[in-house]
Amino acid sequence: MAEERGWKPIQLPGIPPARGAYSRAIQAGDFLFISGQVPRDLESGALLGDDVESQTQSVLENVRRILESAGATLDDVVSVTAYLSDIGQWDKFDSVYRTVFRPPYPTRTTIGAQLHNVLVEITVIAKTR
């Protein structure tokens, strides 16, 4: 049914489907849309990290794994939306982000948000090859 719409969900080998009514990632034409990722182990669902730096690293690792499942890399990311439970942690978040992405950086919006038991959530749009 999704293919009839012109897009398809990306399945991750060995990863259970999302618990909610959403797809982890959607391929639409030349673009990959990745739903908000949080610092949870993709297999077990266990929370990873207890500070903004470690949670940012975990979230970006989940993003990397999903990108690779679709044949893309972090270099293919063109836009990022990041949600921080404490916008005052922006500098710490940004310092980790800079170790994962390289110039020219994707566009990015960072928003302070009420998150459910996590410090960081990130969604991305990537151009596929």
With b for 16 or more beta-carbon neighbours within 10 A and e for fewer, the 30-62 pattern comes to ebbbbbbbbbbebeeeeebbeebbebbbbbbbb
Mean pLDDT, range 28-55, rounded to an integer: 94
10 vs 33: CA distance, rounded Å: 10
Higher pLDDT, 23 or 39: 39
pLDDT at 1 over 60: no
By C-alpha distance, which of 85, 81, 103, 98 is closest to 33? 81
pTM attached to this predicted model = 0.92
Spell out the domains of the chain, with CATH numbers in brackets: 3-127 (3.30.1330.40)
Q: Quick: pLDDT tens for 100-125.
A: 999 999 999 999 999 989 999 999 99
Q: Quick: pLDDT tens for 12-33.
A: 877 777 778 888 899 999 999 9
Q: Quick: pLDDT tens for 55-102.
A: 999 999 999 999 999 999 999 999 999 999 999 999 999 999 999 999
pLDDT at 39 over 80: yes
- CA of 90: how far to CAs of 21, 60, 61, 86, 106, in Å? 30, 15, 19, 8, 17
By C-alpha distance, which of 49, 50, 51 is closest to 61? 49
- At 129 the pLDDT is 73
Indicate the burial class of 1 (C-beta count within 10 angstroms; 0-12, 13-18, 19 or more): exposed
Strands (E), the chain: 7-9, 25-28, 31-37, 77-84, 107-112, 120-127
pLDDT at 36 over 60: yes
